[in-house]
Structure 1
């Protein structure tokens, strides 16, 4: 068999898995729930951050997509709880999206029904990934969320990435 035939056989073998990439929507989202949104963290694994430090445009993009998330959740009828009571703990947490359950504990402290966390991982100015995860505070169960890769470090690409997650996963019908 030629290398091309091997590649095509491997590709065809993966096709049954394509259906598994659908959004996790088998559990209904609770209506009128309160949400503890602990923000979206930028994780810069590029060498650029090591050499030049944090970039103002990327900090502004974090604010931009956090607002997109807030706007969409509010449009869907969700209410955000004030995170001020956990502000100190949150400031000590490098990344609430990966903190061994601290996001659930903070959600409990805040009396929220759901906790929402996200991150943007910058590999380079060309390759980035946006993650968003929504969990039920009472059980800690993952309800919805997704990771998408985006190309180019622009307002438009970040906005498209977060919009994709919200439209096709979190609020998919």
Structure 2
């Protein structure tokens, strides 16, 4: 009787792990498509003083950690988005208009690319900034940022950052580093570099 139960438990755990693995792969593939994960830089970056619509930051958590961190992650995403918008605006390089999650849900519930670009246009922006944080474990985090020209609908800048630790300080450092990339024109230098 014990052997059957333990074998049955092993099979159940194996099936659950397989399903979780499939879900993770689908989530990663969906996120990669949604933000153009592997695209390269295609044009010059945003000219100084232009308006950028910043969409709410998203989280893809494939860590399968048992602890519920939804509240912490929701707060960190909001803080990261607000801080990035403030840092970009404060530097005087961009005029950042934040699109709220409520506005996005109301105006673009499907969140498909065309609808997101239309939402940025309606906000009066020439450019749209999308960010996704991927948590693959409690130690390994990635931040994917994509900047699009709203008129041409083309990606013009991308940055993929890795950072360690899922805590307020590690998220803050990732945001500060990313803001510095925009403000100090790292993307301009890349765009002008020979390909």
Q: TM-score surpassing 0.5?
A: yes
Residue in 1 that maps onto 2:95: 79
In 2: Cα distance, 1:83 partner to 1:153 partner: 25
2:57 counterpart SS class? strand
Residue in 2 that maps onto 1:60: 75
Taking a change above 3 Å as real, the CA distance of residues 142 and 127 of structure 1, as seen in their structure-2 partners, is same
In 2: Cα distance, 1:26 partner to 1:171 partner: 17
Residue in 2 that maps onto 1:110: 123
Aligned residues: 143
1:167 counterpart SS class? helix
1:56 is displaced (CA, Å) by 1.9
**Of the two, which has the highest radius of gyration?**
2
Residue in 1 that maps onto 2:106: 88
- Whether the 8 Å CA contact 2:85–2:98 is kept in 1: the answer is no
Measured on the aligned residues, the alpha-carbon RMSD in Å equals: 2.6
Aligned partner of 2:84 among 39, 63, 69: 69
Residue 178 of structure 2 is aligned to residue 136 of structure 1: no
Q: Mind listing any 5+ residue stretches in structure 1 that lack a counterpart?
A: 1-22
- Whether the 8 Å CA contact 1:25–1:172 is kept in 2: the answer is no
- Whether the 8 Å CA contact 1:86–1:106 is kept in 2: the answer is yes
Taking a change above 3 Å as real, the CA distance of residues 167 and 81 of structure 1, as seen in their structure-2 partners, is closer
Taking a change above 3 Å as real, the CA distance of residues 157 and 83 of structure 1, as seen in their structure-2 partners, is closer
Taking a change above 3 Å as real, the CA distance of residues 86 and 57 of structure 1, as seen in their structure-2 partners, is closer
Residue 186 of structure 2 is aligned to residue 171 of structure 1: no
